[in-house]
Structure 1
Amino acid sequence: MLVLLYCCSFNFQVHAQQEAEHDMLRGNIARAATDSLKVAALYAYMKTNLNNNTSDFEPYIKQMIFLSKRIKFKWGLSTAYILGLSYYKNQGKFELALKYADSVVIVTKGDTAADMRTNMGHMYNNRGNLYYNIDDYENALKDYFQAERIFRELHHKMMASTYTGIANCFMKLKNHSRAFEYSKKAVAIARDFGDDRALATNMMNLASAYMNTDNYVKADSLLNIVWPIVWKLQNSKSFYLYYYGLGNLESDYKKDTLKALNYYRKSYSYALENEDVWQQGQALDFIIHYELSLKHKGVKADIDKLYKMASRNSLEENRASALNYYAIWYNEQGHYRKAYTYQKQFQMLSDSLYSNEIQEKTAMMEIRFRVANKDQEIHQLRANEKIQQLNIRQKNALNYMLTGGALVLFGISILGYHNYKNRQKFQQAKIDELEAEKQLAATEAVLKGEEQERTRLAKDLHDGLGGMLSGVKYSLSSIKGNMVLTPDNARAFERSIDMLDSSIREMRRVAHNMMPEVLVKYGLNVALQEFCDEIDRSSAVHVSYQSVGIGDAAVEQTVSVTIYRIIQELINNAIKHAYAQNILVQLHISGPEKRLTITVEDDGKGFDKNQLSTARGMGWSNIQNRVDFLKGKIDLHSEPGKGTSVLIEVDI
């Protein structure tokens, strides 16, 4: 009695000390002045409580992730993701836990720093535990061996944990020799590093392995040795393992059913405290089994707990056990139809849970990851491996053929699509070319018609009206010689003769502008020189004409007339709209290319080029149409107050 009171008192004191430490660590989080200090405080709190009650971890994990992202702290971020992986694994939220594992891989990828490599090892080890919990021993072994390689290179004490995981997988696969090999390695590593928690866990795992092979004496001895270490640790996970091991020992070796049931109930209470659904399922399974054998009244409620918990967390093995227990209980109650229904459901689920293929695949994982330490067992599996590899190669060959065919079809489709688009582009270009030719033909017809009409009018004016006016002048001059006039009438008559002369000159000037005879007789260069000189002599504006290489150039008459009209229009615009004082006209022909460059510059008031799109006059439109007719290029530079410069290039 005194010993019991002492133990209870000691237990109370330990819990009080732990609670005080937890309060202090939570206070450190609240008092942290910077994000980096807060991340450190969050990690310290969760690390201390990792092996105890983790029910309040979620908000701390999310806060650590948020702060680490904000300060770009890779170690803090990867550590928070690992804590999330462990937390959600313990809660049975395996899909969410795997997402956190993927996040660790992304954060640590390519980082060779020791602390980041260590975190990668922790991720593999925790993810291996997750796969083990859902009976995926192939992926569990794969991750455990990855973790072991990293921790061995870093000489890290977590090697003990990975060896334990490997041993557990081999034990599940009934490979007892390999299981004992890795269990003993785990105990040795934990002892070398002086890690009491790891030592206790691994000793209890080794005891469990001995019990699985009916070596209960060694198991009992190990549990007696490990109890002081477990009591010293005072964490729920260690207590769970210890009482679960005692339950197995009492039920299988000492055959004390009531003691076994009490030990399993203790282990279940610690699994509840730690919110580890996998541990809860393991303990509840045995509790129900012995409650049924002892005919406890509360067994139905425990079966309900197991079934709901297993269904909620996708623990199919526990759900199968619950279905079997329902069948047994309803059968004992005389509800045979319900018992049969549950038995049928149990059988269907059990048939789908296990297969020999899992063991074969896991053995292949041992071959891939432990090539350096092959033994006789692996040699025997090589034949099966070769057959599997041959099947894989055949499947791969078929996949390559199908993939190749798909790629060929895809390539043909792409080529066909490009060919179709090219044809469309070619047809559109052809349409555009025909449209341009059509417009040029229309422009050419208009310009030629215009020039023909100008020529006809100029000829009519010069030969018809000009001849008539000259005849009238001659007749009036003859009449004057035969008439006697007063001085006033004589002066009036002379003024009329002068006006008639002016009319004849103006008529000839108009006719000359419409179709300058000099252009037809002497060519473009001479016609432009005379046109510029005539405007310059008028004293309205100073026009300077310069030409290079155009004197001997043979320019087609239609082209000459069009260029003449362009320059004529540009000069008229400079005089009429820009009020220019000086105009420069330059023509230059380059020898080999036969390219004519025309420059017309003035010092007028200039204008905003954007106004051309809204201009109502036809002057600029006529210029543009004529340049297009010649298939030339035009470049206009003008600003208000800075004059205007027009550059035109035409191939002749």
Structure 2
Amino acid sequence: MKNNTFNGMTNKYLHLIFFILSITFCNLIYGQNAQVDSLLQLLEQSISETKKEKIHLKLSKVLERTDISKSKEYATLAQSSSNDSIKSEALNQIGRALFYQNNLDSAEVNFQQSIDILKKLGYQNQAASVGISLGAVQLRKGEYKNAVETLLTGAIYFESISDSMNMAKCYSNVSSAFGELGDSKKAIVFGEKALSIFIKKKMIPYQVITLPNLAGEFLKLGDTTMGKTYFMQAEELAKQRNDKFSLARIYNNLGNMYLETNTKKSEEYLLLALKYKNETRNNDGIAILYNNLGYLMLQKNDPEKAISYLKNALPHSSGTNIATTYNNLSDAYIQTKNYQSALKYTQLKNKVSDSISNIENQKAIAEISTKYETEKKEREILNLQNKNLQIDIERRQNRNLLYIAIGLIFIGLISAYGFIKNSRKKRVIAEQQKELEQQKVEKLLKEQELVGIDAMLDGQEKERQRIAQDLHDSLGGKLSALKLFVENMKEKDEVLYEKIKSVLDDSYNDVRNISHQNHVTSMIDHGLIPAVNKVAERLKSTEKLNVEVTNIDLRQKIKTFIEIQLFRIIQELITNTIKHAKAKNVTIQFSEEEDLLNVVYEDDGIGFDINKLSQGIGFSNIKNRIEKINAVITYDSGFDNGTTVIINVPL
């Protein structure tokens, strides 16, 4: 009875590790909270219903990995949109939340509705992406034929458009399907294909899901070394991201791995998994976790606690997992000498096992049929080859005719594809044009509002440039002339000459520096980051303020207009730090994520009270420049805690 239980669990624990859904963020919890606060502020300021619906969707995505209920709530608010594009995305988000809550039937309905709308709109790529989630649901429900068909159809599509990321997602889920069907070798082949893409793309969240999946398959083949190695790698990556969602799955798998060999270590891992599942309010795989805990309590001769865990598993169990739960309950009641209840659960287990046995028989028949058809085709090919050796001339003629026919069919398919694509494109353009007309009024109002801001900032910039030019041409020239006059004093009083010359040199350099700082267009000829680096080097040379500039992964070319505004904002922030913060160090980081330029400015100064944020010219200028480039800025500061400023700019 123990071996059946353990084997059932081993066959099912990978049920936790489906490659579920795309993850739209990799930020730390602090950054996520700041993003939520920023979106809530935008929501309060928004008047347009369409804009509110889009913000609701963004909030749903941000909260997806930390508060599933809240994520579902915001997605539901966007579902009633009259815009089909927004509605399809909202249905997808609701489906994801239901999937994490283990409400599989409802999740499948929402995913299918989203796909139907996307196909109607002609958004084939988005429809195929949601299809990955649909395949994951079918896989979880044990509908292996439907799951494999859905996922391989998606893989073929993504291969045709060279979309390696979505190809990898399909491979990962197909790997899980083969794992469930007991073909660990094929599961490893597809899993490692997916993992290699995720590593190449540096997509850590996807590695965290794929690594335990592979670990389980290696354990099935008896390779504990590779299994443990992959589990440890997954745990390390999840800890780096503080990903409690993934840690719960990993610790459940590790607990399962040690069930038979080290009950103490197994219990530690399983209780950690339960803790993280409760914190994230995630029921994904909760049945297997309770089942593992129940089985562990049976090992420790604590049947009462085992029964408690196993009954918690029942509402979430299905397939072979519910058979395992019934079996463990029967064993638990035998330990308590409650033979009537033990018999009840034994009968339930046998009933489910008979059903599963029928399914397994169907799979076996299908595999035999496939093998037979394959061998039959191989024999036909061999006969055909022998025949072709006898009538080689006729074969060549037929081959040439076949090439011609294939060429004509290919040309016809290309023509048909072009016609269908053009018709679909026209329909999409017509629908998008309608949406654009609705947005024109909003855009016009916004543009009129920014006219005043543009005029003010342009005036400021021109005045800065005029002052810089005047300083350089007038005062700089006069200082240069004065240096020539002073040369005549060298013979009369060399000491006085050296003093005056030193003061003149310093003055000239100050004028030159001020001129360059105000003439920002010349400073950013080589780009924003080199310009900020120049400012940093000048400040370092004063030995009063250390400024470090880091470019994490910014690759896109930034428009000169945006570079100028960001450079002015950074200058203003540095000025505030020098005047008020009493800081010794400043760090400025540039990074890029999903067509957003992210700038993080931090100092180690005395900070300030954000609730009493100054409304002076400096902060007013920053606000106006932020609006001008359609950016979002967030301040975080407190007394003796320094200041952090986060700027997100659409590229």
TM-score, length-normalised on structure 2?
Answer: 0.50
Greater gyration radius = 1
Higher relative contact order (CA 8 A, sep 6+): 2
TM-score, length-normalised on structure 1?
Answer: 0.49
